[in-house]
Amino acid sequence: MSAIDFWLETSRVAKAMEQSEALGAAERRFGVRRRDFLHFAATLVASMGLPTSALGAVVNAMTQSKRPSVIWLQFQECTGCTESLLRAEHPTLEKLLLELISLDYHETLAAAAGHQVEAARKAAMKENAGRYLLVVEGAIPTRENGIYCKVGGQTAVDLVQEVAADAAAVISIGSCASWGGMPSTSPNPTGASSVGAVLGKSVVTIPGCPPNPYNFLSTVVHFLTFGALPEVDARGRPKFAYGRLIHENCERRAHFDAGRFATRFGDEGHRQGWCLYKLGCKGPETYANCPQLLFNDCGAGAWPVGTGHPCIGCTEEGVGFTKPIHQLAVLKTVTPPTQFARPAEPQGQGATVVTAGAAAVLGGLAIGAGLKLASKLGNKDGEPGEKS
């Protein structure tokens, strides 16, 4: 089903649901208009790759399910993941987040502090043992017995292991929690590690710096609707969000295929929106849905590449915060057309792709368009390429 067909079908289903009691409950519970809530629900359905028929189940889950208890831990991070959740509009995500879940512990958002907030965490763990969700933001320092990060007298290692023991599910939000992120860059003096590495088991990871808030909310809604977390890839990332390369859905992809590349910030190609591959864009080796969901609900182009900066690969371990920003990406799928010069020609290594291609044409070995050019090069009637 095409995107247009999906939204037409979604609109039809939504119109049929507008007067339902579920939407009435949503209006009362979330304080948003029915149409706005339906639009939000439809966005989540599309994000998760579900059929339009799932819209009703998602709406019912969000409006009628018991709010799951959530304990949100923060370690080596900048709080950007939390901030991204609180900065979106249409409708505001903090309203939906706090109404969808029972956020029983969050150091940044809690009104309590000190012994009082730690007591609230322990009470939530006891009352909801085996049913609460654990969300971890930030990398976990492991060197020297984890002394580089302590909360309430406990090291981050001890705390995450304690809370994870009775959790129904563990979600790592952001690149730092997912695979170490920026704190784990060399020389990594604190031994910053991912949640999965510390716990010794697979967890759901939602990488990004920060991650798109809809990817987190879609994961939570999937848990509410189906009683299980979404299908993940080998690195624990939900496939609905991280199943395709950024390069495949980039609005500049046509320029890549045509060999039109910006080579400097502010040059003619950059101003005209040409491909940023030569400037180090990591989209060809990074899996994420940034081009589809965008950020901050402010319209087209609201993501790094859309604003003229190369993707830095923040969702990809071994790319973001590891490779230099302007280093050329590894092309995991297609390569630029061979008739165009490579972005970085090797020096002093014999024939390049271009000169080798020219030799092939002269030797009559090219095919397709090359054969046509070769025939002109060998024409004896004064055509271009005639020997003097």
User: Is the predicted pLDDT of residue 213 greater than 50, yes or no?
Assistant: yes
User: Is the predicted pLDDT of residue 135 greater than 80, yes or no?
Assistant: yes
Query: Any idea what DSSP says for residue 238?
Result: B
Query: What is the average per-residue pLDDT within 337-363?
Result: 47
Residue 76 φ/ψ, nearest 5 degrees? -80, 95
CB count in 10 Å sphere of residue 102: 16
Query: Residue 174's pLDDT is what?
Result: 96
Question: Of 336, 334, 286, whose CA–CA distance to 344 is shortest?
Answer: 336
Rounded Cα distance, 305 and 119, in Å: 45
Query: Residue 372's pLDDT is what?
Result: 39
Rounded Cα distance, 115 and 9, in Å: 52
**Distant-in-sequence, close-in-space partners of 185: CB < 8 Å, separation ≥ 6:** 321, 322
User: Is the predicted pLDDT of residue 341 greater than 60, yes or no?
Assistant: no
Query: Residue 90's pLDDT is what?
Result: 55
HSE-CB for 300 with a 13 A CA cutoff: 3
User: Is the predicted pLDDT of residue 171 greater than 50, yes or no?
Assistant: yes
40 backbone φψ class: left, alpha, beta (φ>0; ψ -120 to 50): alpha
Query: Residue 67's pLDDT is what?
Result: 81
CB count in 10 Å sphere of residue 193: 24
Beta bridge partners of 102: 69
User: Is the predicted pLDDT of residue 376 greater than 60, yes or no?
Assistant: no
* pLDDT 10s digits, 219-243: 988 888 888 889 999 999 999 999 9
Query: Residue 301's pLDDT is what?
Result: 85
Query: Residue 235's pLDDT is what?
Result: 92
Lookup: tokens for 95: 């309203």
Lookup: tokens for 70: 């959530």
Q: What does pTM read for this prediction?
A: 0.77
Instruction: Report how far apart, in Å, the C-alpha atoms of 294 and of each of 29, 146, 250 are.
Output: 27, 36, 11
User: Long-range contacts: 118-122, Cβ < 8 Å, 24+?
Assistant: 118/152, 121/71, 121/163
Span of 7-16, 77-86, 151-160 with lowest mean pLDDT:
7-16
Instruction: Report how far apart, in Å, the C-alpha atoms of 300 and of each of 45, 292, 385 are.
Output: 20, 10, 48
User: Is the predicted pLDDT of residue 315 greater than 50, yes or no?
Assistant: yes
Residue 345 φ/ψ, nearest 5 degrees? -80, 130
CATH architecture observed for domain 244-344: Irregular (4.10)
Residue 313 φ/ψ, nearest 5 degrees? 75, 35
Query: Residue 100's pLDDT is what?
Result: 76
Query: Residue 378's pLDDT is what?
Result: 36
Question: Of 76, 67, 5, whose CA–CA distance to 30 is shortest?
Answer: 67
Rounded Cα distance, 350 and 355, in Å: 9
* pLDDT 10s digits, 238-248: 999 999 999 99
User: Is the predicted pLDDT of residue 126 greater than 80, yes or no?
Assistant: yes
Beta bridge partners of 177: none
* Confidence band for 37, pLDDT divided at 50, 70 and 90: confident
With vertex at residue 258, the alpha carbon angle to CA 252 and CA 263, rounded to the nearest 5 degrees, is: 65
User: Is the predicted pLDDT of residue 205 greater than 80, yes or no?
Assistant: yes
User: Is the predicted pLDDT of residue 101 greater than 50, yes or no?
Assistant: yes
Query: Residue 4's pLDDT is what?
Result: 64
> pLDDT: is 137 or 375 the higher one?
137
Rounded Cα distance, 188 and 193, in Å: 9
Query: Residue 49's pLDDT is what?
Result: 78
Mean pLDDT across the chain? 81
Query: Residue 309's pLDDT is what?
Result: 95
User: Is the predicted pLDDT of residue 345 greater than 60, yes or no?
Assistant: no
Query: Any idea what DSSP says for residue 228?
Result: S
Lookup: tokens for 381: 């009637």
Class for the domain spanning 67-211: alpha beta
CA terminus-to-terminus distance, the chain: 60
User: Is the predicted pLDDT of residue 340 greater than 70, yes or no?
Assistant: no
Identify each DSSP E strand in 299-374 by its residue range.
Answer: none
Span of 212-216, 272-276, 331-335, 366-370 with lowest mean pLDDT:
366-370
Query: Residue 306's pLDDT is what?
Result: 93
Q: Is the dihedral of CA 134, 140, 145, 151 positive or negative?
A: negative
Identify the three-state secondary structure at position 98.
Answer: helix
Query: Residue 374's pLDDT is what?
Result: 35
* pLDDT 10s digits, 241-286: 999 999 999 999 999 998 899 999 999 999 999 999 999 999 999 9
For the chain, the domains span: 3-61, 67-211, 244-344, 346-388
User: Is the predicted pLDDT of residue 72 greater than 80, yes or no?
Assistant: yes
User: Is the predicted pLDDT of residue 369 greater than 50, yes or no?
Assistant: no
Which of 6-20, 77-91, 177-191, 208-222: highest mean pLDDT? 177-191
71 backbone φψ class: left, alpha, beta (φ>0; ψ -120 to 50): beta
Let me know: does 30 contact 37? Beta carbons within 8 Å: yes
Residue 117 φ/ψ, nearest 5 degrees? -70, -35
